[in-house]
Amino acid sequence: MDKPYFSVDFNEMIDVDTVLLSAGDWKVDAGGVIVQLREGMLVSVYMDDMSENGKIDNLVANGVVTKNAVGGWAAIVKWCCRIDSDGIRPESKKTRSI
């Protein structure tokens, strides 16, 4: 893994290409490594999901860490992930390395 791989909830999108990432400056990646977040960091994100056939087929995306500039319900979160142009897709259909 050349970049951190973080679990997120794609139901917590604050706009069409931005998902909430972390309330603090540190987040544990999928391998159990504690990663310090910083503006501009390239990351991969995923959310557990299943295919129509009931097989594991997580939703995945690549993106960049950005500071949260949104208020309201999302104001307590400091860091977000702005998803790249490949968007969110099932892992079975990924086009670039996650």
Residues 24-46 as b or e (16 or more Cβ within 10 Å = b): eeebebeeeeebebeeebebbbb
What confidence tens digit (pLDDT) does each residue in 39-72 have? 999 999 999 999 889 999 999 999 999 999 999 9
Q: What is the pTM of this model?
A: 0.90
Amino acid at 50: M
| pLDDT at position 17 over 80 | yes
Q: Max alpha carbon distance in the chain (Å)?
A: 39
